[in-house]
Amino acid sequence: MVKIRKPFLIANWKMHKTLGEAESFCRDFLPRVKDGGRVDIAICPPFTCLFHVKSFLASSPVKLGAQNMFWEEKGAYTGEVSPVMLVDAGCELVIIGHSERRIILGETDAMINCKVKAALQYGLLPVLCVGETLKERQEKKAKEVVRKQLQEALEGVEKTENLVIAYEPVWAIGSGLNASPEDAEEIASFIRGLLADWWDREISSRLRILYGGSVKPENISLFMQKENIDGALVGGASLDPYSFAEIVRLSVYA
Ligand SMILES: O=C(CO)COP(=O)(O)O
């Protein structure tokens, strides 16, 4: 199948890696992904490693991203990091609304909406995460939940191509239990349909929708073969340079 959208593979390291470990990853990973023409690749390290990782990415096609940010430019917000600071550290993208932040840290759809708007305002590509819990899936509410999360996150956001949506069912994250490629495709296609209704079909057909949740070299091709899945947001398997490089390689040839 020929897709018009370029595959996008994003490593979300979550709260893993010291400076030394990040450096060692870069030394092993970057020589394996020299050809950036056919796929977009990004690494999202913890804040403490951003600037250091950027120094290794200078001559590579790999982009730098953050895992979160606050929406204000500066001020008395102890512990927060602003979009301006992320751009300054070399970031091009930022993950917003990850389920771990929603569930463990109490992030609301309204906060996520502020973050999406701030990312766009400061020139960062928002990677907006949505996805249902196991209970919601069992109650057949997956689409309803995803629709509400998307609607609230994009409230007041002008139609734009500078957006990536990551469908990450909560029960598939870090569990080893990936969603079936068919279930993931059903939701990805639902998301594309919503964006076509809310914005327009042209923009919606160009937006990249990623799947996330227990992606590994053994299953990436199955997801990439689906019409509406344009890549993956990878947690655990992105911590190992060889496994993430293999995921990138397989995503191009699926
Ligand atoms: O949360 C994820 C990526 O953001 C997925 O994590 P795992 O790949 O470890 O399941």
| Residue recorded with tokens 């819990």 | 133
Known binding-site residue numbers for substrate: 12-14, 174, 214, 235-236
Measure 209 CA to ligand 1 centroid, in angstroms: 15
With 70 as the cut, is the pLDDT of residue 36 above it? no
pLDDT in tens, 116-160: 999 999 999 999 999 999 999 999 999 999 999 999 999 999 999
Let me know if 98 is a catalytic residue.
yes
As for how many domains the chain has, the answer is 1
Place of tokens 């010291």: 18
In a domain, residue 146? The reply is yes
pLDDT at 209 over 90: yes
On whether residue 187 sits in a domain, the answer given is yes
C-alpha 237 to ligand 1 mean position (Å): 8
| Residue 183 forms part of a structural domain | yes
Q: Is residue 250 part of a domain?
A: no
Active site residue 218: no
Instruction: Indicate if the pLDDT at residue 74 is higher than 70.
Output: yes
Structural domain contains residue 193: yes
Residue 112, domain member (yes or no): yes
pLDDT tens sequence across 3-28? 789 999 999 999 999 999 999 999 99
The answer to whether residue 252 sits within a structural domain is: no
Indicate if the pLDDT at residue 110 is higher than 70. yes
Looking up residue 174, the CATH number of its domain turns out to be 3.20.20.70
User: Which residue of the set 98, 100, 132, 185 is catalytic?
Assistant: 98
- The separation between CA 96 and the C-alpha centre of its own chain, rounded to angstroms, equals 8
| Binding pocket residue ranges, ligand 1, CB within 6 Å | 12, 98, 168, 173-174, 212-215, 233-237
* From 100, 107, 168, 185, the catalytic residue: 168
Question: Best substitution site from 10, 175, 177, 215 to test ligand 1's pocket, by max atoms within 8 Å of Cβ?
Answer: 215
Q: Is 107 inside a domain boundary?
A: yes
Bigger pLDDT: 252 vs 149: 149
Instruction: Tell me the one-letter amino acid at 200.
Output: D
The DSSP result for 92-120, as a single string, is: SEEEES-HHHHHHS---HHHHHHHHHHHH
pLDDT at 2: 62
Question: Is residue 206's pLDDT more than 70?
Answer: yes
Compute the mean pLDDT over every residue in the chain, rounded to the nearest whole number: 96
Show the domain range for 32. Answer: 8-244
Among 15-24, 33-42, 166-175, 223-232, which is the least confidently predicted range?
Answer: 33-42
Position 47 pLDDT exceeds 80: yes
Cα of 247 to ligand 1 centre, how many Å?
13
pLDDT in tens, 161-181: 999 999 999 999 988 888 899
